[in-house]
Amino acid sequence: MLDFCVIGGGIVGLASALKLMEAFPGAGLVVLDKEGSLARHQTGHNSGVIHAGIYYAPGSLKARLCRAGAEATKEFCAENSIRFETCGKLLVATNAVEVRRMDDLFQRAHTNGIVCERIDQAELSRREPNIAGLGGIFVPSTGIVDYRQVCNAKCTPVGGNGARGSWWLARDCRRIASRKWPG
């Protein structure tokens, strides 16, 4: 008998399944996905960026979760021997309006506790000679990873090591019904 059913074999579904297995050891769990392998949609087709959270409103839940998620992702990758790179991200202003927006983003980043560096036009040209811009912001904590590899590592504990979890691929979920169990 199953206690939990997670629909979706992407990063959110697999992370949810892993947390359920940790929170309820011995529970029966299945992950359903309509595709024949994991991470076939958004997770497998995104840019692979580990975002720093520079765009979110200061103090917001999104800002806090993004920073915490970035650190958790990097820790998970290190613990599971998944290659990732903390290469940073360069945001570029190409006109006067965008320069003013960079001022706001720079302040927002500092308020959210994100280390970043303001770059003038000369420094931008020195760092990236093929970019034409008036200036920018460098965010050193931004990284990149192959999220398919992260999904593969997250699915291992769900179906292995004696866990009562499994994944069923190439299965559509056509209906969800709620019923009361006796007892």
Question: Mean of the pLDDT values across residues 18-40?
Answer: 82
Mention every residue, 6+ apart, whose C-beta is less than 8 A from residue 151. 9, 10, 11, 14, 38, 39, 43, 44
Least confident of 9-23, 26-40, 91-105, 125-139: 26-40
- pLDDT over 90 (residue 183): no
Query: What sign has the CA pseudo-torsion 78, 83, 86, 89?
Result: negative
Question: Mean of the pLDDT values across residues 37-46?
Answer: 76
Helix then strand count (H, E) for the chain reads: 6, 9
Q: How confident is the model at residue 117, as a pLDDT?
A: 97
pLDDT in tens, 101-143: 999 999 999 999 999 999 999 999 999 999 999 999 999 999 9
Q: 35 and 169 in contact (C-beta within 8 Å)? A: yes
pLDDT band at 157 (very low <50, low <70, confident <90, very high): low
DSSP-derived letter for residue 35 is S
The distance in angstroms from the start CA to the end CA of the chain is: 15
pLDDT band at 168 (very low <50, low <70, confident <90, very high): low
pLDDT band at 8 (very low <50, low <70, confident <90, very high): confident
Q: How many CB atoms lie within 10 A of CB 161?
A: 9
How far apart are the C-alpha atoms of 74 and 116, rounded to whole Å? 19
Q: How confident is the model at residue 165, as a pLDDT?
A: 62
- pLDDT over 80 (residue 181): no
Least confident of 16-25, 81-90, 147-156, 164-173: 164-173
HSE, side-chain direction, 13 A CA sphere, residue 179: 6
Q: 117 and 140 in contact (C-beta within 8 Å)? A: yes
Q: How confident is the model at residue 163, as a pLDDT?
A: 47
Q: How confident is the model at residue 162, as a pLDDT?
A: 45
